[in-house]
A and B are shown apart, each in its own frame.
Chain A
Amino acid sequence: MNTPSNDRDRMRQEAARSVSRRWFMQDCGVGLGAVALKSLLAENATAASGNPADPLAPRMPHFPPKAKNVIFLFMAGAPSHLELFDNKPQLAKYDGQLPPPDLLKGYRAAFINPNSKLLGPKFKFARHGQSGQEISELLPHLARIADDIAIVRSMTTDAFNHAPGQILMNTGSQQFGRPSMGSWALYGLGAETRDLPGFIVFSSGKKGPSGGNSNWGSGFLPTVYSGVQFRGAGDPVLYLSNPEGIDEQEQGRSIAAINRLNRMRYESVGDPEINARISAFEMAFRMQSSAPELMDISQEPKHILDMYGAEPGKPSFAANCLLARRMIERGVRCVQLFHEAWDQHGNLVNDLKANCRDTDQACAALVSDLKQHGLLDETLVIWGGEFGRTPMVQGGSDGRDHHPNAFTMWMAGGGIKPGLTLGASDELGFNAVEDKVHVHDLHATILHLLGFDHLKLTFRFQGRDYRLTDVHGNVVKKLLA
């Protein structure tokens, strides 16, 4: 019999969409290496999991991946590249002067009149490590791991408002409705653990991310691929705790009864979906103990806590960094930490000091810690915000406006060439001029490191094969180790 669709890949999509959302199958903790190398798009791709209806079954990407996990340290609000990574002596020289008029042609700014005076960098830079990477005095901890990271000083983006900028950085489009990067990774690779969600999100800082949940949403991908928000205090994940008055024994007894009754129904109607629900309840019950265990950083030795600057029982960006490592250890595919604090329209100097105090140590610790746990090779760490900040001043002399033409991000681990400084902006830090890396290129590169040809990781929606990179993107070869 011909099913109405004889396209296997479509079947898998359809299965993922409308049939079983199995969070786990038995014994699926199979590492990438253990799975036979099969192309995601091969005819028998679904056969690899043995279950076409399991959207989270581990799958092999297009080619052997360099990284299998991603941690994105998302510095929401847009940090100033000019104070942190992109040293511009000329900008210091022209401080207080107007920018050259042709630089501003067609330039749109969010708040300021673009024809505002240039503002020299507020902090000093020095070269660090054997690689001699140039890093600001605000980031002493990162400076110590300069040789482990690659700094991209030539990032560009299309958006200069927060919500569209963040949505673009996280989903590849300024228009809402596209799947987030983490969702794509989960869709492509499946999950390695079923004891925890495959894509976990934290939020710290002054505000929540602009654009909210859509930053980690699954867009038109099945909802099973969307990120799940955790938090550092109280219930780490919503509704994890038993209702008041119900102890573990009572909960266990109830879940056992639920599953026995579900099994009886399965025996009578035979719908495999019931089995998936039975598994979901078992998993939920396990998660009720595994998630608090995961979140309990007091189990970490003191020197590790000190290394991050994390304190048990006190939610912080530092604690979230440490949790990110613990999650990667437990097989979580993607972790994204949102830290909204970087929108320095004013109070640039003091806010940057405070922000770096809050984040620098933990970011550096995360990379070092992953390294000492042997996880850095297979984990891609990304640091950056949605855009950069204007070389021109906003307000008196202590603020910068949004700026999409040039900004800096850094990456480490997972197939990234360590110690590399890639690209350059012009002498004022206004336009990226050398080895420009657009957000789409970044996405293409991330997918490449995860083993995907970004042109081929697609999902059919509304008659079109959508990609994370839409119709753009080039892998930045120079970044690859």
Chain B
Amino acid sequence: MKNPLSSRTVFVPILFAGIAGSCSAPLQAESGVFDRDKVQQVRTILSNKCFSCHGPDETNRKAKLRLDAKADAFAERDSGTAIVPGKPEESLVVERILTTEPTEQMPPPKANKPLTDHEKTLIREWIAAGAPWAEHWAFVTPKKPAVPDVKDRKAVRNPIDAFVQARLERDGLKSNAPADRTMLVRRLYLDLLGLPPTPEEVDAFVADPAAEATEKLVDRLLESTHYAEKWAQMWLDAARYADSDGYEKDKGRQVWAWRDWVVGAFERDLPYDRFLIEQIAGDLLPGATSDQKVATGFLRNSMINEEGGIDPEQFRMEAMFDRMDAVGKSMLGLTIQCAQCHTHKYDPITQEDYYRVFASLNNCHEASIPVYTPEDEKKRADLLLRIREIEERIRELTPNWAERMSAWEKAAADRPEAKTAWEILRPELDTSGGQKHYLLEDGSILAAGYAPTKHVTEFAATTDAKKISAVRLELLNDPNLPLGGPGRSIYGLFGLSEFIVTVAPKGKPGEAKPVRIVRASADANPPVKPLDPAFDDRSGKSRVTGPISFAIDDKPETAWTTDLGPGRSNVPRQAVFVFDKPVEFPDGAIVTVRLNQSHGGWNSDDNQNNNLGRFRLSITPDPAATADPVPARVREAIAVEPAKRSEGQNATIFSHFRTLQPDFVELNRRIESAWTEHPQGSSQLVLANREAPRMTHRLERGDFLKPKETVAPGVPGFLNRSRAGDDVDPRLRFALWIADRDAPTTARSIVNRVWQSYFGTGLVATSEDLGSQSEPPSHPELLDWLAVDFMDNGWSFKHLHRMITSSATYRRSSAPTADQLQRDPFNRLLARGPRVRVDAEAVRDIALAASGLLNPAVGGPSVFPPAPAFLFQPPVSYGPKVWPEDKGPNRYRRSLYTFRFRSIPYPVLQTFDAPNGDFSCVRRSRSNTPMQALVTLNETTFVEAAKALALKTATEGGTDDSARATFAFRRCLARKPTAEEVAELVRLKTESARSLQGDSARAWKLAALDPAKPPQLPAEMTAADLAGWVAVSRVLLNLDETITKE
């Protein structure tokens, strides 16, 4: 249903006539003089100065008195009553705040939180007025307040303006006239797209006679993917997005698919409640799509520590704490981090609440799934379809295929490999070398933490077996491995350079002797191939991968791999190693297996390991043992009764079965050939639920080594109720709770941040915290109105943008008056339009757009624009990093797509205050420094932009200097320059050109993107002239106004 106040409806001020209520309606309470604002002010004072000792935190509560709960504060106590409504003289609180006796005084002098006289008076007046009690505003579900009536109804275009105007009238501050259309159109482009308008776009808008030209423009901009890119950035900050792991190694990671998911979500205006649910629990939604799984990458944006000496569980816990913080700041708008160690001192969040939420998120694998670019995805779908069609063709050509398959199944079940008796070894775990190993319940070993690129791990197990003839190595999948494993390489695979076994009599490790392995078999034997370049060790030696014989050939340069090409290699595999003769000890043996994994690359600080990920060792006395040629997945499927098999299981069996049939050779060959076209794809970090729930404990002082009682999943009690039943997975239940219509902070917090993005400051300045300690909102009713309106309109960002941009408040001129500067320097009362320097990304994007260099391509892997190479090498970077500077079109992509190393932030963006993704950031600093001037003056991209803009100006900018100066000026600033400004630019052009006259070599060096290939210039123009325009362009790109939203 269309909301009557949506963008196309011009709000008629007359509607306000007769609407009751005002900006701060008196409370119905005991008093008529104490309005809502003042009650909240008192609450804020109490929170700031009293709650840390007399608040929610029981452990640190003094005198057993709490002032954040009405019943306690008003209760009669032996020592007197803290607050006696209406009777300040009988209230202990008043006595204690007014006394000058240091031992009696509250807050105690040593707390260093003295009350000002104003605050004391306010508390006294509040009690005198009957101490009207109010819960903290942000903890109460917002209701849509009545829109206030105002004196100057002409100032009101929509309800936003009524709230703003009411406050301005109260404070007697005069608001600005509307911005002129040029200022407005540039503001809208920068706000909605993060890019400047072209002069043509400006002119078209200025010339548009339609009454609703602005609304039309806004609608058009909201349809642009650039809108989604601009607003995705806000969420990326909050989600601490980066393309690397952080900590010491800070290895690159593949998470761009999540970033693209965010862009896509803004583009299709995914309702915000849905947006949150999918990011917390998209994988748990019925029939979850790959996209919805990718959405859970939000929680995986935590840093990962793979230093050599770490305990992986410690840093998984750190990541959990980080997720809690991110959820708190970005979704709840609350600081819940405090409750990690103790019950919150200001907000009613208990430590148990914290760990209940923690438990809701704790039952996860740190998983990774394959993802593909849209082109690859299409290619992949095509070839999978092709394979299905060929398989269908096989079935068509073979009417009796079902009987044949069933016969084969029976034969497979009878194969000797299916009957070999294997004893699983449960070895001691190797602790050398830095990689950590976990022994799982099924006897398999999971590698984690630091991943050396060349190492030998040793696993020794004691067994009672008296005779051992062979060892089996099973490679298993695990959700915590890249792409599910079974290896740890970026492909989820491995290279086993050598498999070495020694045996000793039980209890006599000193008598260990090597065993000669004479025969090895495996269920995957890929052809011999040169080692993937990702694992180059810079030794110059030729290293290869291939069949299982490579694991027992005693040649360090060869390795067994199970890489059968992309798309079908991340499956369980096995190999069997048979001894030259059985080993026999009457009392059992110690079997030691050495896994030589030397097929990784040169740089262990990068993603170059090629290690085994999850594996299991078994022994058998059977000297005829052979690796089961039937793959584990097929065995699993066969084990299921035919009637109970899923479609997938049937397909799995058939796809294996057909490969064994000689009459299908040609069609099988075509399928094999199709598989070779499968794209490699990329990966995305996601969450996946564990089958066996992980117990969550309250951690004393947040220390993972001090687990206390177990805590069940749940939500904090002081906010909205959880509606979902117990049958819903706790993580999904938590997601639904956050995105609930009744959630008091969810909508307020995001609406406030959108407002902050437009106006520079939120209605609540402390946008990361709406709790007791937050700064009171400048316009509390407006915040509530916007929050409810947002929810009423399907949690639609686009609706919110239309609402804000259609307000007179937004459209005002931003030039401050002296009175405004004096009385409201930070424009909190919104008498003028916003005038703020744009965000880091826009600073760079404006230069790219104005110069015409911008490559508008959307999405895909992050890109590597120019950066000084030394930044990525020691001793600046901890380890050598790869920064393959883009020379092609990717050089000029929007800044959103710049690869983000956490430890080495991209300097251009960092200098303009972009956060580095260490932690959730919902409010950026905005600095103004000489370093920024150096960037826009001298950094490569800005210099290239100046050259490109100059060339554009020279070739398209008109025929005389004045026209050209105007052309370049408007590409940067939209508006037409004044005569004085034109004169300044033309003078600069002339002087610069003159200084280069006759030195065309130097002029080209300065003016051409590639001096070796100087561009074609208009007939009358010289290289020196072009250099003059470079000077002009450079100046324009450096202007305050260019990087400012006015």
Contact of A462 among B112, B329, B432 (CB under 8 A): B329
Shortest B956–chain A CB gap in Å is: 22
* Chain B minimum-CB-distance residue to A283: B930
| Stretch touching chain B among A135-143, A238-246, A442-450 | A238-246
How far apart sit A348 and B661, CA to CA, in the bound complex (Å)? 63
- Residue-wise, chain B 998-1019 has the 8 Å CB interface mask toward A (1 for contact) of 0000100110000000000000
Q: Which residues of B contact A287 (CB under 8 A)?
A: 930, 934
How far apart sit A101 and B761, CA to CA, in the bound complex (Å)? 58
How far apart sit A205 and B105, CA to CA, in the bound complex (Å)? 55
Shortest B848–chain A CB gap in Å is: 17
Q: Please judge, given known A-B contacts A250-B992, A257-B1035, whether A205 and B875 are in contact too, CB under 8 Å.
A: yes
Query: Is B918 part of the contact surface with A, judged by Cβ < 8 Å?
Result: yes
How far apart sit A177 and B775, CA to CA, in the bound complex (Å)? 21
How many B residues touch A, CB cutoff 8 Å?
116
Query: Is A217 part of the contact surface with B, judged by Cβ < 8 Å?
Result: yes
Q: Which residues of B contact A164 (CB under 8 A)?
A: 247, 305
Assess the A213–B878 pair: CB atoms within 8 A: no
Shortest A257–chain B CB gap in Å is: 5
Assess the B879–A207 pair: CB atoms within 8 A: yes
Contact of A4 among B765, B875, B934 (CB under 8 A): B765
Assess the B821–A240 pair: CB atoms within 8 A: no
| Stretch touching chain B among A268-276, A328-336, A351-359 | A268-276
Residue among B305, B930, B935 with the highest chain A CB neighbour number at 10 A: B930
Q: Which residues of B contact A111 (CB under 8 A)?
A: 308-309, 431-432, 434
| Stretch touching chain B among A89-97, A259-267, A376-384 | A259-267
* Chain A minimum-CB-distance residue to B170: A1
Q: Which residues of A contact B350 (CB under 8 A)?
A: none
Assess the A224–B875 pair: CB atoms within 8 A: no
Assess the B1040–A212 pair: CB atoms within 8 A: no
How far apart sit A265 and B1046, CA to CA, in the bound complex (Å)? 11
Q: Which residues of A contact B816 (CB under 8 A)?
A: 269-271
Q: How many A-B residue pairs have CB under 8 A?
A: 298
Shortest B749–chain A CB gap in Å is: 13
How far apart sit A6 and B45, CA to CA, in the bound complex (Å)? 11
Query: Is B939 part of the contact surface with A, judged by Cβ < 8 Å?
Result: yes
Assess the B928–A269 pair: CB atoms within 8 A: no
Q: Which residues of A contact B903 (CB under 8 A)?
A: 208, 211-214
Q: Which residues of A contact B338 (CB under 8 A)?
A: 464
* Chain A minimum-CB-distance residue to B916: A213
- Residue-wise, chain B 910-946 has the 8 Å CB interface mask toward A (1 for contact) of 1101001011000101111111111101111001000
Q: Which residues of B contact A5 (CB under 8 A)?
A: 765, 775-776
State which residues 204-248 of A face B: CB under 8 Å: 204-214, 217-218, 222-224, 228-229, 231, 234-235, 237-246
Shortest A474–chain B CB gap in Å is: 15
* Chain B minimum-CB-distance residue to A8: B116
Assess the B879–A176 pair: CB atoms within 8 A: no
Shortest B836–chain A CB gap in Å is: 8
Assess the B1035–A212 pair: CB atoms within 8 A: no
Contact of B1040 among A22, A240, A277 (CB under 8 A): A277
* Chain A minimum-CB-distance residue to B760: A18
Q: Which residues of B contact A206 (CB under 8 A)?
A: 874-875
How far apart sit A401 and B774, CA to CA, in the bound complex (Å)? 45
Query: Is B33 part of the contact surface with A, judged by Cβ < 8 Å?
Result: no
How far apart sit A206 and B1038, CA to CA, in the bound complex (Å)? 38
Assess the B773–A463 pair: CB atoms within 8 A: yes
- Residue-wise, chain A 184-212 has the 8 Å CB interface mask toward B (1 for contact) of 00000000000001000001111111111
Q: Interface majority SS on B: helix, strand, loop or mixed? A: loop
Shortest B646–chain A CB gap in Å is: 45
Assess the A274–B1040 pair: CB atoms within 8 A: yes
State which residues 759-780 of B face A: CB under 8 Å: 760-761, 765-766, 768-769, 771-778
* Chain B minimum-CB-distance residue to A221: B925
Shortest B783–chain A CB gap in Å is: 12
Query: Is A28 part of the contact surface with B, judged by Cβ < 8 Å?
Result: no
- Residue-wise, chain B 861-888 has the 8 Å CB interface mask toward A (1 for contact) of 0000000101000111111000000000
Q: Please judge, given known A-B contacts A212-B903, A281-B1038, whether A271 and B925 are in contact too, CB under 8 Å.
A: no
Size category of the A interface is 35 or more
Assess the A207–B874 pair: CB atoms within 8 A: yes
Q: Which residues of B contact A340 (CB under 8 A)?
A: 874-875, 878
How far apart sit A264 and B977, CA to CA, in the bound complex (Å)? 11
Assess the B932–A245 pair: CB atoms within 8 A: no
Query: Is B528 part of the contact surface with A, judged by Cβ < 8 Å?
Result: no
Query: Is B642 part of the contact surface with A, judged by Cβ < 8 Å?
Result: no
Residue among B247, B318, B907 with the highest chain A CB neighbour number at 10 A: B247
How far apart sit A205 and B876, CA to CA, in the bound complex (Å)? 9
Q: Which residues of A contact B825 (CB under 8 A)?
A: 15, 19, 53
Query: Is A88 part of the contact surface with B, judged by Cβ < 8 Å?
Result: no
Q: Which residues of B contact A461 (CB under 8 A)?
A: 768
- Residue-wise, chain B 383-402 has the 8 Å CB interface mask toward A (1 for contact) of 00000000000000000000
State which residues 989-1042 of B face A: CB under 8 Å: 991-992, 995, 1002, 1005-1006, 1027, 1031, 1034-1035, 1038-1041
Assess the B247–A163 pair: CB atoms within 8 A: yes
Query: Is B335 part of the contact surface with A, judged by Cβ < 8 Å?
Result: yes
How far apart sit A215 and B535, CA to CA, in the bound complex (Å)? 31
How far apart sit A463 and B901, CA to CA, in the bound complex (Å)? 29
* Chain A minimum-CB-distance residue to B875: A203
Assess the B913–A223 pair: CB atoms within 8 A: yes
* Chain A minimum-CB-distance residue to B778: A4
Query: Is B807 part of the contact surface with A, judged by Cβ < 8 Å?
Result: no
Assess the A250–B995 pair: CB atoms within 8 A: yes
Assess the B875–A265 pair: CB atoms within 8 A: no
Query: Is A14 part of the contact surface with B, judged by Cβ < 8 Å?
Result: yes
Shortest B920–chain A CB gap in Å is: 9
Contact of A163 among B248, B329, B939 (CB under 8 A): B248
Shortest A326–chain B CB gap in Å is: 19
Q: Which residues of B contact A277 (CB under 8 A)?
A: 928, 933, 1040
Q: Please judge, given known A-B contacts A208-B874, A250-B995, whether A463 and B248 are in contact too, CB under 8 Å.
A: no
Query: Is B307 part of the contact surface with A, judged by Cβ < 8 Å?
Result: yes
Shortest A263–chain B CB gap in Å is: 10
Shortest A18–chain B CB gap in Å is: 6
Assess the A463–B1040 pair: CB atoms within 8 A: no
Assess the B988–A210 pair: CB atoms within 8 A: no
Query: Is A284 part of the contact surface with B, judged by Cβ < 8 Å?
Result: yes
Assess the B761–A212 pair: CB atoms within 8 A: no
Assess the A14–B329 pair: CB atoms within 8 A: no
Assess the A462–B826 pair: CB atoms within 8 A: no
Query: Is B120 part of the contact surface with A, judged by Cβ < 8 Å?
Result: no
State which residues 927-985 of B face A: CB under 8 Å: 927-935, 937-940, 943, 978, 980-981, 984-985
Q: Which residues of A contact B773 (CB under 8 A)?
A: 460, 462-464
Assess the A246–B1006 pair: CB atoms within 8 A: yes
How far apart sit A383 and B815, CA to CA, in the bound complex (Å)? 51
Query: Is A253 part of the contact surface with B, judged by Cβ < 8 Å?
Result: yes
Contact of B926 among A17, A212, A271 (CB under 8 A): A17
Q: Which residues of A contact B987 (CB under 8 A)?
A: 257
How far apart sit A260 and B937, CA to CA, in the bound complex (Å)? 16
Q: Which residues of A contact B311 (CB under 8 A)?
A: 108
Assess the A18–B907 pair: CB atoms within 8 A: no
Query: Is B310 part of the contact surface with A, judged by Cβ < 8 Å?
Result: yes
Query: Is A251 part of the contact surface with B, judged by Cβ < 8 Å?
Result: yes
- Residue-wise, chain A 97-119 has the 8 Å CB interface mask toward B (1 for contact) of 00000000000111101000000
Assess the A270–B984 pair: CB atoms within 8 A: no
Query: Is A258 part of the contact surface with B, judged by Cβ < 8 Å?
Result: yes
Query: Is B455 part of the contact surface with A, judged by Cβ < 8 Å?
Result: no
Query: Is A307 part of the contact surface with B, judged by Cβ < 8 Å?
Result: no
Contact of A14 among B776, B826, B1039 (CB under 8 A): B826
Q: 8 A-B residue contacts at CB 8 Å?
A: A18-B761, A224-B929, A243-B943, A261-B1039, A264-B984, A462-B337, A462-B769, A463-B335
8 closest A-B pairs by beta carbon, nearest first, are A110-B309, A212-B903, A463-B773, A245-B1006, A21-B927, A210-B248, A284-B933, A177-B919
Identify 8 new A-B residue pairs, CB closer than 8 A, beyond the known A211-B248, A246-B1006: A14-B826, A23-B930, A207-B875, A212-B902, A250-B1031, A253-B991, A271-B816, A464-B338
